[in-house]
């Protein structure tokens, strides 16, 4: 009975709001994102409280950001709301973070098109791919976000192998190798190279996602990669990252044209990941060669 009431309520809300919005409308949703990171997992136990505090302050601009989602009925563009930072506040993470977080992200839910503006080590890429959806499970729980009534939905999401937001130190490797059958060698992919920081990090294959959407804004859009619900997604919790909408402006006086990113070398997500992998291998070889050269100098 509760599920029937929920479906009827959400359907009525959706129909009412659909009538309320014309074909030519636009909105802007402002989001705050925050990713938590436990420094103790990355060698922080050996740091003093003062050292930890300094690093946390330097990483704040990297882990906490603000974005604007500009949308109409079929398209959206998700951009970081860039602000001038105080000198030194970004530390050494500014340029590096741009290679991880990316530029504007365009989604077209009608044509299932995803375009990501991405810079990597000074080179511009244009990642073009099919817009893939999640298999959302609709819940009956509701909550209020600002003036909007939101409904809960959950899904299991496959994580990109280079998604820094879900990276964590590898665990239990010695135990896993001990449990292997006698005579069976451990795969190279499970070995940890102390000189290669990336071999000490892993990314889970999947994570659980919880989203809150509002049928009061009946568009199939949301922040970042998220979409596919019968209403604008106002909040997302995914692993260690939370995305929360703080303000919505409907039909602003000055409308912004939603343009597809066009600059950069066109690649798919799989091709871009391959480029990252090759670059990391090059850096590892360069780093190893320098260490070997210094060592040889000492022996002579």
Question: How far is the C-alpha of 166 from the C-alpha of 207, rounded, in Å?
Answer: 9
How many CA atoms are closer than 13 Å to the CA of 43, on its beta-carbon side? 5
- For the chain, the domain total comes to 1
Please name the helix (run of DSSP H) or strand (run of DSSP E) that holds residue 49, with its range, or none.
Answer: helix 49-63
Closest CA to 264 of 115, 45, 81: 115
**Assigned domain for 46 exists:** yes
What's the average pLDDT block by block, 10 residues per block, for the chain (300 residues)?
51 46 79 82 63 70 89 95 59 49 90 93 91 94 96 94 72 46 41 55 87 96 96 96 96 88 92 87 71 48
Question: How confident is the model at residue 253, as a pLDDT?
Answer: 83
Question: How far is the C-alpha of 111 from the C-alpha of 262, rounded, in Å?
Answer: 17
**Assigned domain for 185 exists:** no
Question: How confident is the model at residue 162, as a pLDDT?
Answer: 76
Closest CA to 209 of 143, 272, 139: 139
Q: Which residues of 112-140 are buried (b: 16+ CB within 10 A; e: fewer)?
A: ebbbbbbbbeeeebbbbbebeebebeeee
DSSP state of 81: -
Virtual torsion, Cα 72, 78, 84, 87, nearest 10 deg: 170
Question: How far is the C-alpha of 127 from the C-alpha of 115, rounded, in Å?
Answer: 6
Question: How confident is the model at residue 10, as a pLDDT?
Answer: 53
Distance between start and end Cα atoms, the chain = 83
Question: How confident is the model at residue 54, as a pLDDT?
Answer: 73
Question: How confident is the model at residue 182, as a pLDDT?
Answer: 41
Question: How far is the C-alpha of 255 from the C-alpha of 179, rounded, in Å?
Answer: 61
Question: How confident is the model at residue 276, as a pLDDT?
Answer: 86
**Assigned domain for 184 exists:** no
- Assign 237 to helix, strand or coil: strand
Question: How confident is the model at residue 60, as a pLDDT?
Answer: 75
- Assign 124 to helix, strand or coil: strand
Domain ranges, residue 209? 2-167+203-287
Angle at 30 (CA atoms; ends 19, 155), nearest 5 degrees: 75
Question: How confident is the model at residue 295, as a pLDDT?
Answer: 47
Query: With contact defined as beta carbons under 8 Å apart, do 159 and 190 qualify?
Result: no
Question: How far is the C-alpha of 205 from the C-alpha of 163, rounded, in Å?
Answer: 11
**Assigned domain for 174 exists:** no
**Assigned domain for 236 exists:** yes
**Assigned domain for 86 exists:** yes
pTM of the model: 0.75
**Assigned domain for 112 exists:** yes
Question: How confident is the model at residue 194, as a pLDDT?
Answer: 55
Question: How confident is the model at residue 65, as a pLDDT?
Answer: 92
Question: How confident is the model at residue 1, as a pLDDT?
Answer: 55
Please name the helix (run of DSSP H) or strand (run of DSSP E) that holds residue 294, with its range, or none.
Answer: helix 269-299
Q: What are phi and psi of 137, to 5 degrees?
A: -105, 115
Question: How far is the C-alpha of 134 from the C-alpha of 93, rounded, in Å?
Answer: 31
Question: How far is the C-alpha of 250 from the C-alpha of 59, rounded, in Å?
Answer: 33
Question: How far is the C-alpha of 74 from the C-alpha of 222, rounded, in Å?
Answer: 11
**Assigned domain for 34 exists:** yes
């Amino acid at each position: 009975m509760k599920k029937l009431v929920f479906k009827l309520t959400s359907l009525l809300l959706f129909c009412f709001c659909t009538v309320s919005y014309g074909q030519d409308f636009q909105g802007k949703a402002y989001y705050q994102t925050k990713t938590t990171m436990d420094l103790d997992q990355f060698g922080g136990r050996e740091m003093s409280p003062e050292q930890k505090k300094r690093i946390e302050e330097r990483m704040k601009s990297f882990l906490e950001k603000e974005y604007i989602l500009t949308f109409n009925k079929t398209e959206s563009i998700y951009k970081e709301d860039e602000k001038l930072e105080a000198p030194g506040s970004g530390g050494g993470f500014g340029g590096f973070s741009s290679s991880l977080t990316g530029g504007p992200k365009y989604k077209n839910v009608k044509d299932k098109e995803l375009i990501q503006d991405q810079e990597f080590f000074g080179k511009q890429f244009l990642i073009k791919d099919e817009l893939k959806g999640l298999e959302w499970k609709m819940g009956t729980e509701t909550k209020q976000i600002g003036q909007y009534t939101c409904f809960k939905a959950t899904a299991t999401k496959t994580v990109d192998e280079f998604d820094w937001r879900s990276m964590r130190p590898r665990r239990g490797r010695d135990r896993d190798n001990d449990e292997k059958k006698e005579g069976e060698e451990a795969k190279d992919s499970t070995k940890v190279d102390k000189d290669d920081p990336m071999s000490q990090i892993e990314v889970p294959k999947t994570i659980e996602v919880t989203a809150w959407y509002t049928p009061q804004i009946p568009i199939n859009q949301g922040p970042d990669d998220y979409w596919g619900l019968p209403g604008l997604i106002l909040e997302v919790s995914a692993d260690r990252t939370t995305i929360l909408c703080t303000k919505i402006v409907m039909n602003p006086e000055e409308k912004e044209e939603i343009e597809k990113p066009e600059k950069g070398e066109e690649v798919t997500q799989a091709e871009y990941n391959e480029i990252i992998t090759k670059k990391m291998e090059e850096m590892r070889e360069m780093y190893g060669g320098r260490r070997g050269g210094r060592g040889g100098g000492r022996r002579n």
